Amino acid sequence: MEDYPEELRTPPVALACLVGCPAVHGLITAHLHSQQPPINTIALPDFSKISVIPLKKPPRENSEPVGGIIRRDWLSKHRTRIPAVVAALFSSDNVYGDPAQWLQVCTDLENLKAVIRGRNIKLVVVVVVVTQSGHKDDTSEDRMTALRKRAELDAKNLIVFVPDDELELKQSLSRLWTAFTELANTYYRDEGRRIKTRLEKKNFSSMELNVRYCFKVAVYAEFRRDWAEALRLYEDAYHALREMVGTSTRLPPIQRLVEIKAIAEQLHFKMSTLLLHGGRVVEAIARLRQHIGNYRKLVGAPEVIFLHWEWLGRQYLVFAQLLETSSANVPNVQSMVSVPADKPTEWEYYPAYYYQLAASYLKEKKLCLEFALSMSENVGQIDGSAESVVASAYLGQFARLLEHDNTYVMQALTDDEYANHALAEGKRFQDSFEIIALLKRSFEAYSNSKAERMAAYCGLQMAKEYFSVSEFANAKQAFENVASLYRQEGWVLSLWEVLGYLRECSRGISSVKDFIEYSLEMAALPLTNNAVEPSFKDCGPAGPASLSQRAKIHEEALEVVRGESEENRDLKVNSDYPLYLEIDLVSPLRVVLLALVAFHQQTVKPGAPSLITISLRSQLPINVEIDQLEVQFNQSECNFIIGNGQKQNTAAISHVQPGRRVETAPDLVLATNKWLRLTYDIKSDQSGKLECMYVIARIGQHLTICCRAESPASMDDIPLWKFENLVETIPIKDPSLAFSGLKAIQVEEPDPQVDLTLGSTGSALVGEIFILPVTVASKGHAVYSGELKINLVDTRGGGLLSPREEEPFSSDNLHVELVDISWETHEDHSETRLDNIQKIQPSFGLISVPSLEEGNTWSCKLKIKWNRPKPIMVYVSLGYYPRKGEPSLQKVHVHKSLQIEGKTAVTISQKYMLPFRQDPLLLSKIKPVSDADQLPSLCLNESSMLIVSAKNCSEVPLRLLSMSIESEESNGACVIKPQHEEFKEPIVHMPGEEFKKVFTVMPKVNSTKLKIGTVSLKWQRDSRNFADDKSQVITKHRLPDVNIELPPLVVSLDCPPHAILGNPFTYSVRIQNRTELLQEIKYSLADSQSFMSSGSHSDTIYVLPRSAHTLRYMLLPLGLGPQQLPRVTMTSVRYSAGFQSSTASSIVFVYPSNPHFKASDILEIRKDSIAAD
């Protein structure tokens, strides 16, 4: 587009001319140019210069032959030299001056009118008021009228211009612009109409004139900004021109076509510009298609066919540039709908599409030009004469410029001369770089719109172009980009072509490594057709894509490696330049060599042998013989080398380091797509992961291929071949190994030769500090830098032992905790403790173990405290180095665990009892309250008995040391006796036994909720052989609160402790009234078979306030043994409460005769009777 002249590329702008008064030209020019629409100006300082406006030519004779279609300079003439309006500027001094000045004004005006009349140019007269002299009198009015008449103007076209005053200046300028615009429009309309009438009347003698007239009218319409009219006439011109093809005979055939195409190009350019600026993209594209369709077939004479391709390419290029610069948005392209054939498809909205086409035609042009140059030998000879060929006066024509008597004469060319000229011109340009530039733009545009395949295609063309001008480095880079896409998507044939180019590029830059890599990749491509199909012949520099060609390329690469290649002298491989290829998991060379490594086991003991299988496969067409294979591991001492049994003496063995294991395989030949399987033993002394890293193949003396080992379990399909229908083979004979084998094996730790013993001592008891002895005994290994880790874990899960870290540790929320670790040392106890204990937390401990010689033992004691009954697991692990000073060695670990049950040792319960055979009436007991809610009730000021029983729940005998009750209420609200009792000799408490202790309680305060206190029982394990104070445990039990009340009535029974058969005794029932009221009591006595009784049987009595009444009976026992006394039933009328003595309290033992007791026996009996209660 930049090749086009300025006047063609920009829309026409009206032209005005200023004559005279040069001082104000600047002002006016600037103003006119800045308006919308703008007006360009020619400024002439004085009237003598008006001759620059060309005079009107005499009208054409109809018989005169037409020289061409459009004059080359016609447009520029109208843009820059023929104004639509001329403004004659006169100074007011001159207009109002003396007659001489006035005469001068008139003369100038006349001259001007004479010049412009022929062209029908409009006139404006401007009177520039130089100084505000202010004489606007009659004479000046007369002068103005005279001037207007002389100039034959309307009043509005005579403008008084006042440059000094700002406001007036503004008005003057705007008036000037209005007048200019109006007149210019009139001028261009008149001119257009004038020519249009010729068109309408068909008043033209030739087709050329038809085109020319249409063109002119269109341009005039553009001057008027009548775009629709302009477009219509350009179209008319275009169609008229198309009809000229084949009918015009004015010029020799080649030049005739060249001229028509040049005009067509310009017309089409104008139309496209108008359409695109009007936002009519679809129409513009349709017109381009039509345009190309019209002229594509008009290739012209074969010797200058390159001109046609160049022209076509230019059409696309210009359109691409127009599309790129036009602001019109690409309309929303309909998608997923079949695009009708007459609508543009997606890519046709993108400039990239046209750039690409332009490039492809330019390439075509280049090819044809080269061909034409090679055909014509005499281009050089006529160079001299070709120089004198210039563009002639008509667009699209060329002529020879001859110097003839100091004047230049244009002489028409013959077609041969023209062809030579075109060839000579064509030779001057470097098309390749232009092609590359175009393709690069296209490539970038496609890449930006995510059309990677289109972009790749452009990249491929670009690379080929670089290749053609021998810029191998650039070409190689571009080809590589393209190749990666083809590899990824498996377009083998395209890849073959690209790799062929890459091979040549590598040869061009003498990069032997790249050359070999590309050659091997090509040789391993999945192209299996043997018969050379005709359609696969033209596949780039590497030749036809076939199996035989692959073999040839493979062979060639091997020759280069061996240094035997004749044709590739630049590619050197020898001992100074050895070749080292690396194949990783993403390398395209995986098809060349694939190395799978699988251990047969997953874990192995250190030092024990394990089988390893190395499977190699290649897709190269010819068998490859490997001289030496080296297998490398992450533990370099395991590396080994497999030599080729057939080639024992090759120099490749010289790579072997001394002391390296060398195996020999019968042969190391890789056949196409067949696995070479090698199985060997491998041993590792070092525990940890043993992983195969690389399998390195050496072929010949100077080629090394380092292939990263892969696991069969995680092997990806090899690229490209995965789409082929190949026989599936498994890399290892064992199918399970082929799918799950790994290239790494876990070498286990050496077996520990140290015993770790946890001295279990049964279950622990809540509250005590449980001691767990841990013994480390060396049985063959010395222990260095030993560390003992202890973990306490809740067996039922749940994080009870390790509360969340942000919470502060407190013994309340810890059910079990590790309190301390202690051990005996020979040195100062406290010091070593500080050094060695690294960490003790409630559930975790870490201590270091001193170095132990073989056979020595060491032990420590863990002290664990249970706060709640809970089973836990204790995990103890010992890590150590068996040898001193070898930190690289693996640590050996021993683990032990033990479950320990935590149990409650003692449960304490209590019971209250009233004194024997004395029953107070407690009113709270009468009320119907559920038993659960009821607190035990005690009588105020009466002593009651408290029986505290402790049951041994554990499985070991305990030794009870003391029991005490700590009262909670102060100031003697309740008197308890005894407060504290140390057992004189410790009571051994067997499992399941219950120990009871009796206290007396006498409440002194009437309270519904009296706190009695807490029972503390001090005990220790009975089996403890060291009876230090620390091992004593105190179990506490809080006694429940009691209700204290004052009983209104107390009934007490009285009878002797025992009776003797036949001896009467007195049995009395005493009713005590403790109230201030008279109490009515009804009572009755039930007879008993065992006794004869005397006394009142039933009656109602009144007990006076604060006094007592006693019922007395005389009883005579009749039976032996424990006998039920006659039972007395009483009812208090006031409280509606009945009383019947309990069965237990109303039993007496009847002896046959008077017994003889010892004092101690009596005590025993008493105690028994209490216990039985």
Partner 1 sequence: MIVCLAVVGHQNNPLYIQSFTEADDALKLHHIVHCSLDVVDERVNNPKKSGPTLNETFLGLLYPTENYKVYGYLTNTKVKFILVTTDLDVRDTDVRNFYRRFHAAYVDAVSNPFHVPGKKITSKSFAERVSTIVKSFGLSSSS
Q: Which is nearer to partner 1, 163 or 490 (CB)?
A: 490
* Min separation Cβ 543 and partner 1, Å: 12
Residue 494 found at the interface with partner 1 (CB under 8 A): yes
Residue 619 found at the interface with partner 1 (CB under 8 A): no
Q: Are 854 and 780 in contact (CB under 8 A)?
A: yes
| Residue range at the interface with partner 1 (CB under 8 A); choices 331-339, 366-374, 856-864, 1039-1047 | 331-339
The C-alpha atoms of residue 233 and residue 267 are separated, in whole angstroms, by 10
| Residue range at the interface with partner 1 (CB under 8 A); choices 335-343, 826-834, 838-846, 882-890 | 335-343
Which listed residue (10, 334, 388, 1098) binds partner 1 by CB under 8 A?
334
* Min separation Cβ 724 and partner 1, Å: 6
Residue 453 found at the interface with partner 1 (CB under 8 A): yes
Which listed residue (108, 265, 417, 497) binds partner 1 by CB under 8 A?
497
Q: Which is nearer to partner 1, 724 or 1099 (CB)?
A: 724
Closest among 125, 123, 194, 115 to 158, alpha carbons compared: 125
Single-letter residue type at 679 = T
Which listed residue (142, 164, 538, 1168) binds partner 1 by CB under 8 A?
538
* Min separation Cβ 338 and partner 1, Å: 2
The C-alpha atoms of residue 1157 and residue 1160 are separated, in whole angstroms, by 8
Give the list of residues 6+ apart from residue 532 with CB closer than 8 angstroms, or none.
544, 546, 548
The C-alpha atoms of residue 235 and residue 264 are separated, in whole angstroms, by 10
For 1052, the 3-state DSSP assignment is strand
Residue 755 found at the interface with partner 1 (CB under 8 A): no
* Min separation Cβ 288 and partner 1, Å: 12
Tokens in use for 614?
């190395």
Distances (CA, A) of 643 to 589, 650, 701, 780, 1147: 23, 10, 14, 41, 111
Residue 252 has a CB neighbour count (10 Å cut-off) of 17
Alpha helices in 118-206 (DSSP H): 138-151, 166-200
Tokens in use for 1117?
């026992």
**Residue 1010 carries which DSSP code?**
B
For residue 746, what are the β-bridge partners?
A: 603, 689
Closest among 825, 829, 822 to 847, alpha carbons compared: 822
Residue 491 found at the interface with partner 1 (CB under 8 A): yes
Residue 1041 found at the interface with partner 1 (CB under 8 A): no
CA pseudo-torsion sign 558, 563, 569, 575: positive
| Residue range at the interface with partner 1 (CB under 8 A); choices 534-542, 962-970, 1040-1048, 1101-1109 | 534-542
* Min separation Cβ 358 and partner 1, Å: 12
What is the DSSP track for 324-348? HH--PPPP----SSPPPTTS--GGG
Of 697-726, binders to partner 1 (CB under 8 A) are 722-725
Which listed residue (100, 337, 727, 1159) binds partner 1 by CB under 8 A?
337
Residue 541 found at the interface with partner 1 (CB under 8 A): no
The C-alpha atoms of residue 350 and residue 372 are separated, in whole angstroms, by 34
* Min separation Cβ 361 and partner 1, Å: 9
Which listed residue (339, 367, 402, 409) binds partner 1 by CB under 8 A?
339
Which listed residue (60, 117, 296, 1030) binds partner 1 by CB under 8 A?
296
- Give φ, ψ of 884 to 5 degrees: -90, 145
Q: Which is nearer to partner 1, 451 or 950 (CB)?
A: 451
Number of shown-chain residues binding partner 1 (CB under 8 A): 42
Residue 290 found at the interface with partner 1 (CB under 8 A): no
Tokens in use for 30?
């600037």
As a three-state string, the secondary structure of 847-892 is EEECCECCCCEEEEEEEEEECCCCCEEEEEEEEEECCCCCCCCCCE
* Min separation Cβ 449 and partner 1, Å: 8
Q: Which is nearer to partner 1, 717 or 985 (CB)?
A: 717
Which listed residue (192, 459, 540, 588) binds partner 1 by CB under 8 A?
540
Residue 534 found at the interface with partner 1 (CB under 8 A): yes
Q: Which is nearer to partner 1, 452 or 966 (CB)?
A: 452
Single-letter residue type at 758 = L
| Residue range at the interface with partner 1 (CB under 8 A); choices 493-501, 761-769, 999-1007, 1086-1094 | 493-501
Q: Which is nearer to partner 1, 146 or 493 (CB)?
A: 493
The C-alpha atoms of residue 286 and residue 273 are separated, in whole angstroms, by 14
Residue 451 found at the interface with partner 1 (CB under 8 A): yes
Residue 536 found at the interface with partner 1 (CB under 8 A): yes
Which listed residue (452, 480, 942, 1041) binds partner 1 by CB under 8 A?
452
Q: What is the dihedral of CA 275, 280, 282, 287, to 10 degrees?
A: -20
Binding letters toward partner 1, positions 345-384, x by CB under 8 A: xxxx--------x---------------------------
Binding letters toward partner 1, positions 198-237, x by CB under 8 A: ----------------------------------------
Q: Are 84 and 184 in contact (CB under 8 A)?
A: yes
| Residue range at the interface with partner 1 (CB under 8 A); choices 96-104, 451-459, 934-942, 959-967 | 451-459
Residue 457 found at the interface with partner 1 (CB under 8 A): yes
Which listed residue (368, 454, 821, 921) binds partner 1 by CB under 8 A?
454
The C-alpha atoms of residue 1132 and residue 1071 are separated, in whole angstroms, by 11
* Min separation Cβ 730 and partner 1, Å: 16
Q: Which is nearer to partner 1, 131 or 725 (CB)?
A: 725
The C-alpha atoms of residue 748 and residue 890 are separated, in whole angstroms, by 10
Element of type H or E holding 518: helix 512-523
The residue written with tokens 């294979």 in the block is 629
Q: Which is nearer to partner 1, 482 or 754 (CB)?
A: 482
* Min separation Cβ 538 and partner 1, Å: 4
Q: Which is nearer to partner 1, 58 or 293 (CB)?
A: 293
Q: Which is nearer to partner 1, 535 or 1154 (CB)?
A: 535
The C-alpha atoms of residue 601 and residue 580 are separated, in whole angstroms, by 33
Single-letter residue type at 883 = R
- Letter string b/e over residues 64-93, b meaning 16 or more CB atoms within 10 A of that residue's CB: eebebbbebebbeebbeebbbbbbbbbbbe
* Min separation Cβ 711 and partner 1, Å: 23
* Min separation Cβ 312 and partner 1, Å: 9
The C-alpha atoms of residue 1127 and residue 1140 are separated, in whole angstroms, by 7
Element of type H or E holding 584: none
Task: State the greatest distance between any 2 C-alpha atoms of the chain, in Å, as a whole number.
Answer: 191
Q: Are 600 and 613 in contact (CB under 8 A)?
A: yes
Of 470-489, binders to partner 1 (CB under 8 A) are 488-489
Q: Are 1051 and 1130 in contact (CB under 8 A)?
A: yes
- Give φ, ψ of 937 to 5 degrees: -105, 140
Residue 727 found at the interface with partner 1 (CB under 8 A): no
Residue 800 has a CB neighbour count (10 Å cut-off) of 16
* Min separation Cβ 596 and partner 1, Å: 21
Residue 341 found at the interface with partner 1 (CB under 8 A): yes
Which listed residue (36, 131, 338, 736) binds partner 1 by CB under 8 A?
338
Which listed residue (63, 247, 327, 335) binds partner 1 by CB under 8 A?
335
* Min separation Cβ 496 and partner 1, Å: 9
For 691, the 3-state DSSP assignment is strand
* Min separation Cβ 336 and partner 1, Å: 5
Q: Which residues bind partner 1 (CB under 8 A)?
A: 296, 334-341, 345-348, 357, 446, 450-454, 456-457, 460, 488-491, 493-494, 497, 533-540, 722-725
